[in-house]
Amino acid sequence: MAAVQRGEVGVIIVYMLVQFWRNRRDRAEGIEILRRREVSVLCVKGPESDVTTAAGRLLAGILGEVDTFEVEQMSEREQREQREQRQRVLRGLPPASTSGASSTATADPGHTTPSAAYS
């Protein structure tokens, strides 16, 4: 962005817009800097984001919020899975598989036959 602020850049090419800004604040500040300097962002994968226009800023903002949502949702899911794993271990159960493969048998904490939990 320093080169943009110095007026050395007219177009920025990125692979995907999600990789250009790290968070909401960076995105808002970056859009404003690009707008003032009349610099467009071209994406190899995804739509062009001409932040010199209201429509381009809207698109960049919406796509950025969707990207932020996906990152936050993934983080929440991972944290929830970690809490669930800790709870299983605290109850004396083996950690659940995180590979996504379904099992034909499930562990029943009240069941006394250990082999049934692992068959």
For helices 54-90 and 24-37, the axis angle rounded to 10 degrees is 160
pLDDT in tens, 25-56: 988 999 999 999 999 888 888 777 788 889 98
* pLDDT at residue 100, as a whole number: 53
Name the 3-class secondary structure at 40. strand
Q: What pLDDT score does 4 carry? A: 92
For residue 44, with 0-12 CB atoms within 10 Å meaning exposed, 13-18 middle and 19 or more buried, which class applies? exposed
Residue 111 has pLDDT above 50, yes or no: no
Q: Which of 28, 47, 36, 26 is nearest to 4 (CA)?
A: 36
- The tokens for 38 are 């009349």
Residue 108 confidence class, pLDDT cut points 50, 70, 90: very low
Burial 47-81 (b: 16+ CB within 10 A, else e): eebbbeeeebbebbbebbeebbeeeeeeeeeeeee
Average of per-residue pLDDT across 11-27:
84
Residue 105 clears pLDDT 70, i.e. is over it: no
Position 82 scores a pLDDT of 94
pLDDT per residue over 58-104, tens digit each?
A: 988 898 899 889 989 999 999 999 999 999 999 999 888 765 544 44
Residue 116, pLDDT > 50, answer no
